[in-house]
Amino acid sequence: TTKPFSPHKALGALFAKRAAQSEGKVQEISESDTAGQSPSPQKALGALFAKRAAEEQKPVESVPDESAKPHKALEALFAKRAAQSEDNSAPILKEDPEYAKYFKMMKLGMPRETVMQALERDGKDASILDLDPELPLEKQKKDAEKVKQSATDGKKSALEAMFAKRAAAMGTPPAPGMVAAKPLKDDPEYQKYMKMLKIGMPVENVKQALERDGKDPLIAEMDPTKSYESQRKKEESESQAEEAKTDVPLKDMPEYAKFFKMLKMGIPLGAVRQALQKEGKDPDIAEMDPNESVSSQQKAQPEVAAEPPLQEDPEYMKFFKMLKMGIPVGAVQNALKKEGKDPEIINMDPARPLSTQSKSKKTEVSQPKKKKLNPPKVARKRLHWNKIDESKLDASSFWNQAKDQSLQLVGLDIDNDEFANLFTAPINNEAAPKKATKPDAKKNSSKQKVQLIDSRRRMNGSILLAKFKVDYNVLAKQVNTMEYVKAEANELRGMMQLLPTKDESLALRSYLPPMDAPRSEIDDSINKLGECERYMAVMLDVPDANSKFECMVFRAEFESHAESIRDGTKMLAEACNAVKNSERFQKLLLYCLKLGNALNTGGSNEGVSAITLDSLLKLAEAKAFDRQTSVLHYLVSIVQKNDADVLKLSDDFAPVKAAERVAMDMLS
């Protein structure tokens, strides 16, 4: 029987042969020697190390008696191969179960920003999309760390070599930080301060001692086992990195990028400012340039940031206090005018500085200049009515019939002196001064903060949907198939108005998971929304929802609309007949025509022969020079003198009064 092969003996024979060759005594090792008692591997290794030590003129090192050395070499080899096989078994990034769905979204053509939002929503690093999808994630991370470490080591060694070379050329020792800087506890310059800390002295006392000796007090807070230069450089590099972060454009900063995307999607500026304020950020960020950094734009406006708001400005503070005390706005504006300040200041936002609300600084109130008028010899009040061209009058028109002598107003009693005093004035007479009118408190009230449409729409929608209790998914199916919905027309119209707009649809789709996501994930996202937003999210999938709602509203309102149209038409017909057949109204038109011609032409024969009905409204607008008497008042006084029965016109117009309630847009 043959003896089993022993790797220890084979290695021993190999090392013995190499040792014999190196000494110049090559001996043949027979098979019997190999199969029999083999030379000791320790002796062979000893001879090999002895030869190398002799060549290097070093003392011979004894080889430790460890027969397991070859085993360790083999184990290291197998471990290395096992690590390589583990790297090869790791899945590539696009097939990794954790990230495969995001690369599928990219493959389907979804926008990169949407996929990054999905990664951030799931709590993952959005920079995964920048990696190679054909390589494993761990391998790419290790390669990146190696490249970073090698770059750092290369820069450090290059700097040390450069400074050492310069120091040698100048004949001076290298800089302490570039050769072998001592830790703080062993540095003679700082050793005593480290001992003071070690024996338990307070840090503040040690800082005072450092300041007294003209040294950096922050040394007391540094690590005593590291050198001062290394820790100082670390602080400088961190501060430089922090400054570099602040120089990033606003649109590329993760904390502000989403707000500029909201602006890009068309969301109102006020809504974006409110979102910034809700997250504790400066709302003015929304009005900055997204291509510039925050620090550069804040530094560019130091004066604006330092200026106090209007309500705290010493120059205008007292006027806003007057408003708080309940003093009318007009009185405060008069106080501003007396001090030579712009009265419109009181209508500005008191929480913002003046320079941000007005391009000009302080504006003084200038007295209005009196315009030089070139009036006619007699100033006359005119009635600006709408005349009808005689060529366009029908033969059966009232105005053509009014030309008949029987309908002319003969012997009309008009007091010419009274007429001249009211509606004419000499050239040099100044118009009667206007009475001081009370300022409208509502118009001049200080501007309140803008209430955004989005919040009001959300509130109104939630109130409506709370009354109409129904499952939104069931409602969406009914609307899609245009089935009968047990709801009144105004409720259906309210739900139609709550359908998402284009901007709201974009915002909802960017929030909701993709269409191929699991249904449970989509439902969870919808349940996190408010009542109104949930309704909008469900209605997103209904095609032509607005048109379908209009049809449903029309069906619900048809009968009531038809009845209303029939009643309205009947009332209008009665009103038209009452106007057409009223003799009192015809006489009143003739009085208006005669008085208007007297005003406009001064009694000459150049007057018009027909006017439109809406010209009657001008009678109340035209005022006499006393600014109290209108042409309508004067007309009534004339009619009362000449034919008081005409003033009973309202008895003929009873059907007209009833027809006022008819909405014309419902009949068209």
For tokens 């047990």, the residue is 486
Q: Is the pLDDT of residue 361 over 60?
A: no
If 0-12 CB within 10 Å is exposed, 13-18 middle and 19+ buried, where does residue 232 land? middle
Structure tokens at 358: 């007005």
The predicted structure's pLDDT at residue 70: 58
Q: Which two tokens stand for residue 251?
A: 């649109």
Q: 3-class secondary structure for 550-616? A: HHHHHHHHHHHHHHHHHHHHHHHHHHHHHHHCCHHHHHHHHHHHHHHHHHHHCCCCCCCCCECHHHH
Three-state SS for 487? coil
Q: What confidence tens digit (pLDDT) does each residue in 413-446 have?
A: 677 777 777 777 776 544 445 554 454 444 444 3
Looking at this protein, which amino acid is placed at residue 383? Answer: L
Give the pLDDT band of residue 450 (cuts 50, 70, 90). very low
Instruction: Flag whether pLDDT at 302 surpasses 60.
Output: no
Residues 641-657 have pLDDT tens digits of 898 898 888 888 888 88
**Residue 15 burial (C-beta neighbours within 10 Å; 0-12, 13-18, 19+):** buried
> How many CB atoms lie under 10 A from the CB of residue 507?
20
Which residue, chain included where needed, has tokens 């439902």? 523
C-alpha 34/C-alpha 16 separation (Å) is: 11
- Residue 489: band (very low, low, confident or very high) from pLDDT cuts 50, 70, 90: confident
Would you place residue 165 in the very low, low, confident or very high pLDDT band (cuts 50, 70, 90)? low
Task: Look at the block and give the residue holding tokens 């029908």.
Answer: 394
Per-residue pLDDT, 177: 45
pLDDT digits (tens, 9 = 90+) for 249-266: 877 888 888 888 888 877
For range 495-508, the mean pLDDT = 82
- Residue 355 in this model has a pLDDT that exceeds 70: yes
CA separation for the pair 190, 218 (Å, rounded): 12
The pLDDT, as a whole number, for residue 428 is 59
**This prediction's pTM:** 0.28
User: Which of 446 and 158 is assigned the larger pLDDT?
Assistant: 158
pLDDT of residue 168: 60
Q: Which residue has the tokens 């090792």?
A: 29
pLDDT greater than 70 at residue 169: no
311: buried, middle or exposed (CB in 10 Å: 19+, 13-18, 0-12)?
A: middle
CB atoms within 10 A of CB 505: 15
pLDDT at 130 over 60: yes
CA distances from 523 to 293, 332, 505, 534, 589 (A): 39, 57, 17, 10, 71
pLDDT at 167: 58
Residue 284: what pLDDT? 85
Domains and CATH numbers, the chain: 7-70 (no CATH), 144-245 (no CATH), 247-306 (no CATH), 310-347 (no CATH), 384-431+567-667 (1.20.58.2220), 453-560 (no CATH)
pLDDT digits (tens, 9 = 90+) for 508-565: 777 778 878 888 888 887 777 777 888 888 888 888 888 888 888 888 888 888 888 8
Task: Identify the pLDDT of residue 580.
Answer: 87
* pLDDT of amino acid 365: 41
Kindly tell me if the per-residue pLDDT of 591 is higher than 50.
yes
Percent of the chain topping pLDDT 70: 72
Least-confidence region, from 26-30, 434-438, 596-600:
26-30
